[in-house]
Chains A and B, each alone.
Chain A
Amino acid sequence: MDGILLQILNGLDKGGAYALIALGLTLVFGTLGVVNFAHGALFMLGAFVAVTLNKLISLEHITLDPNNLTAWGTPQEIRMPYVEEWFGTFGSFMIDYSIPIAIVVAIPIMLLVGIIMERGLIRHFYKRPHSDQILVTFGLAIVLQEIVKAFYGANPIPQAAPAIVAGSMDFGVALGFSENTLVYPFWRMVYFIFSLSVIGAVFAFLQFTTFGMVVRAGMADRETVGLLGIDIDKRFTVVFGIAAVVAGLAGVMYTPILPPDYHMGMDFLVLSFVVVVVGGMGSLPGAVAAGFLLGILQSFASMNEVKEILPGIDQVIIYLVAVIILLTRPRGLLGRKGVMEA
């Protein structure tokens, strides 16, 4: 029982990341009808916003201390981050909490990136075939990740979670199990809750605001909304921006779990596409459900007990599930009728 619970918990954070990326992909697909292969690059850009901010905040003011010598006989360096010099303890607080601060910073940046991308490139591809859209966004993804590589190098850059949530918690005790059966890192729990709240916010935005209502109407019948005198293209640009923000935030928060490198976006993108297709093209709840489902299935498949019965299953489970679902439920789990059927 506790083993099963632990695997479910393990799958939640990865599932959360899949769900967030797949949500953005589906949002873009459902509104603009564009298959966006650069979405993984947005996830990666978000992660590197966090990296950049952390680097900026922890810029150090180096002074030499002539009284203390190191073992090599050179004066010892005193490293003092500028923010600590300026703000004192608040400065060290800022360094510790660089990732939560990065969230605030990432929202406007990613929104801007998304809107520029849509206005500058994607909008010229609405009428082109899907294969053209795939190809141009694929090219864009290569360009973005190469630019990041040129600035940050090819190696992963580890990021630390705030100290207060850096450790692990013994969740088992709270649920009545004996100690050390259900130890789970705090940050993964934070990630899960964070992804749930972002997903909730996106759904609430679409469901309860006038803007969201127009967007939903546009998803259902773009032409009629246009005939009613609403400039739907403008709304959809904002939706693209929101999708970029969601992917970026998923990236920011994922940095303590997986040290970001330039190709992390591509790795996640392939899986997220599978998630979208499993959930059903154009279905937002489907994307979220499939994201968590596949994340949890993946963590179950990597249990040793399962691997003994079916060697290698942990490597292929997601793709296997995708094949089975596509062949038995042609529209995916929650796909709508008439959306991308073939």
Chain B
Amino acid sequence: MFGTNTARKDMILMASFIVVVLAAPIIFQPIGAGYPDLLQKFAIFGIFAVGFNILFGLTGYLSFGHAAFLGIGSYTAVWSFKLLGMSPIPAVLFGTLAGGLFAFLIGIVSLRRAGIYFSILTLAFAQMSYNLAYSVLTPITNGETGLRVLNSDPRILDEKNAEYTGSLVSTFFGVEMNGYPGFYFCGVILIITFYFALRLNRSPFGMKLRAIKSNQTRMAYTGFNTRPYLMAAFVISGMYAGLAGSLMAVTDPLAGAERMQWTASGEIVLMTILGGVGTMLGPIIGAGVIKYFENIFSAFNDQTLNAIFDFLPDTLQQGVVAVVSLFVGSGWHLTLGLLFMGIVIFLPGGLMEGFRRIYRMIKKPDDDKSDTPAASTAPAE
């Protein structure tokens, strides 16, 4: 199934992915997304979505509590800043490990069930973490205020400057991890994790995970104990989430409990579905689209809308602005909801499915039949 053809396709995919990530500031300039804050978010949520896809896309286990690992990664990273210093390396390392460890602990219990019960169990654990982070764990998480790095913290690896009173920023060999350097830090990690996910997808291990998705019982009858494979997938995907969480803290050293709320878990499900479950690029595209909408659309207000529709006659302009303003600014969630419903209703395979359909239409409009088998075996790009 994965012959030399796939290997060559993967190489092209990987090469173009690297080019797109590294040139992102230029590529996304024309659509108004070429600024570092948003690009960082693209990269971070891209990593999160790729990791989520390893679990949901390959094994079919829908976790509704993945944001818990994200939050735990953030908290661990901030604690690493507080205790060890502002270097991002230990923060990312510990954040990833903490995500994996928690995934292992939650996985022991949750993976005993499948289907909707698995979703509810993961949701329950995530909500427990969220509620505890807000209440009794306040000494560790600083509750509602959120955890941040203070000048008085030990930071044993840093050279401390007692006079310095500004806010602390994570520094990587003297480069501050915000703005474009921060994006490139996240971007390089995104490339590495994407490559890892691609290899995992093509490996025998990835094949076993897909076998679990298609028929777990049959898989068990052929002599495989599926639990260790599921656990490995769950832990890997938890580590991705922890990594994404720690990168959030690297680019902006603070952590809050709201990152663990179930709406955040829902968001990552949306991103993956929107892009296309089980595809390699889909989740990243989904993450990008949602973050793009959130940032660009929510920035619109009545003034900008009035400027846009200025060419219309006055009364018409007022009407159009009144209608459109429902969908942008603070109402961008409405657009998100509608977009989301539209995708699920008309395009269940997500945006990737849409691209594939368009590609097929352009490529071979007349002999559709000969193309169908090839298309059906290529859902993993």
Contacts and interface: CB of A to CB of B under 8 A. Distances in A.
Interface residues of A, number: 39
23 contacts: A124-B345, A132-B348, A134-B62, A138-B340, A141-B337, A143-B338, A146-B333, A146-B337, A149-B331, A150-B326, A150-B331, A274-B120, A277-B116, A281-B116, A311-B135, A311-B136, A312-B132, A312-B135, A316-B127, A316-B128, A316-B132, A323-B109, A340-B115
B331 A270 contact: no
Contact of A326 (B121, B263, B338): B121
A314 to B, nearest CB: 8
A121 B341 CA distance: 10
B334 A143 contact: yes
A132 B325 CA distance: 29
Interface in B297-323: none
A35 B123 CA distance: 16
Contacts of A273: 120, 123
B124 A330 contact: no
Interface of B: 62, 109, 112-118, 120-121, 123-125, 127-128, 131-132, 134-137, 262-263, 266, 269-270, 273, 326, 331, 333-334, 336-338, 340-341, 344-345, 348
A249 to B, nearest CB: 25
Given A135-B273, A315-B134, A319-B124, A340 B116 contact: yes
A146 B331 contact: yes
Contacts, number: 107
B262 A270 contact: yes
Interface in A309-342: 311-312, 315-316, 319-320, 322-323, 326-327, 330, 340, 342
Contacts of A141: 337
Contact of A312 (B125, B131, B269): B131
A312 B336 CA distance: 35
A196 interface: no
Interface of A: 35, 121, 124, 128, 130-132, 134-136, 138-143, 146-147, 149-150, 266, 270, 273-274, 277, 281, 311-312, 315-316, 319-320, 322-323, 326-327, 330, 340, 342
Contacts of A323: 109, 121, 124-125
Contacts of B266: 138
A35 B116 contact: yes
Contact of B344 (A132, A150, A270, A330): A132
A319 B116 contact: no
Contacts of B62: 131, 134
B334 A326 contact: no
A326 B333 contact: no
Contacts of A128: 348
Given A136-B344, A143-B338, A277 B117 contact: yes
Contacts of A35: 116
Contacts of B116: 35, 130, 277, 281, 340, 342
Given A139-B344, A311-B136, A315-B132, A270 B127 contact: yes
Nearest to B134: A315
Contacts of A277: 116-117, 120
